[in-house]
Amino acid sequence: MTERVGFIGLGVMGRPMAQNLIRAGYRMHVCARRPESLEPLVAQGAVACASPAELAAGCDVVCTMVTAGADVEAVVMGKAGIMAGARPGLVVIDHSTIPPATARRVAQTLAARGVDFLDAPVSGGGQGAIDATLSIMVGGHEPVFARAEPLLRRMGKTVLRIGDSGAGQVAKAANQLAIVLALVGLAEAFTLARASGVDPARVLEALRGGAAASRVLEAMGPKMADRDFRPGVEARLHHKDVQIALDCAAAVGLAAPGAAVAAQTFNALMARGGARHDSSAVLTVVEAMRRPQASGSSA
């Protein structure tokens, strides 16, 4: 591969995504806040850069995978950010999950410098990043997408241009809304099973064989059945994402009552100190809302 690719943000998702690009033959430059995050990539031949500006100066394409909209703006437009080292013709691809309005603002700012931008959030979790089977939802101009598509297909199985700038983030908001609603539904289902004296593991097996079967059930059902809340996807991330979905809904005049309930449930989990727990820990919030059974029987 002749294109020089930079990757900023080498966490649970970003690191395996960058590694897949290295395996595909791209010449990789990397930048991260924690030096230890760079080591596995450097061992595979990547060039470590001291700042996003330095990375951008030596690359044709820069991918970012950070946490929130403010992080993307800091990486792109902050001191020693991508813009400080960018040349006209550079393509910036942001894989973070951020508000659509932020993606559009970043796209406009970069366009004024002759730099193209794609918002390309992903779904599929850490294992999808490792296996290069992510779903990648892209917003941006068609010619820019066409240029970036071969690279994106080295990281994802489903790669779709949704529309213009911000459209990828709208699709991701819809994706996350469906997920968090499913999480709350599963939490209620397993709480119902336990409260009724039924083995949640047996209920899980039954759900797997019926219409309730889903990827969310496969990922989160065993955790809820076993009450295993060790972090996979940290709850703080789904908390952020459902707020983005609510803001998107408000922007188009949609009430989104399910999103409101999910947001309140994740708010409660944050208040209980569950930010760094797995999102399956929403189960504890539902359990805490259970009313004590009335003594005696009603006539």
Does residue 173 sit in helix, strand or coil?
A: helix
Per residue in 131-168, pLDDT tens?
A: 999 999 999 999 999 999 999 999 999 999 999 999 99
Phi and psi, residue 224, nearest 5°: -70, -40
Q: The tokens of 241 are what?
A: 């994402």
Paired tokens of 190? 């397993």
User: In terms of pTM, does the model score above 0.85?
Assistant: yes
Mean pLDDT computed over every residue of the chain? 94
With cut-offs at 50, 70 and 90, classify the pLDDT of residue 36.
confident
Phi, psi of 156 (to 5 degrees): -135, 155
Q: Are strands 27-31 and 134-139 parallel, antiparallel or unpaired?
A: unpaired
Task: Respond yes or no: is residue 79 known to be catalytic.
Answer: no
CA gap 94, 100 in Å, rounded: 12
pLDDT tens for 93-119 read 999 999 999 999 999 999 999 999 999
User: Is the domain 4-164 a CATH 3.40.109.10 member?
Assistant: no
Q: Which of 79, 157, 172, 240 is catalytic?
A: 172
Name the β-bridge partners of 123: 135
pLDDT at 284 over 90: yes
Pick the residue with more confidence: 113 or 298?
Answer: 113
CA pair distance 264, 184, nearest whole angstrom: 10
Domain ranges of the chain: 4-164, 170-288
Per-residue pLDDT tens digits for 216-236: 999 999 999 999 999 888 999
Residue 223 structure tokens: 């955790």
Amino acid identity at 285: V
**CATH of span 170-288:** 1.10.1040.10
Over residues 52-97, the pLDDT tens digits come to: 999 999 999 999 999 999 999 999 999 999 999 999 999 999 999 9
- State mean pLDDT over 32-49: 92
pLDDT digits (tens, 9 = 90+) for 179-210: 999 999 999 999 999 999 999 999 999 999 99
Task: Give the pLDDT score at 297.
Answer: 44
Local structure of 4: helix, strand or coil: strand
The torsion defined by the Cα of 137, 94, 26 and 88, in degrees rounded to 10, comes to: 120
What pLDDT sits at residue 298? 44
Structure confidence at residue 25 (pLDDT): 95
pLDDT at 1: 56
Residue 233 per-residue DSSP state: S
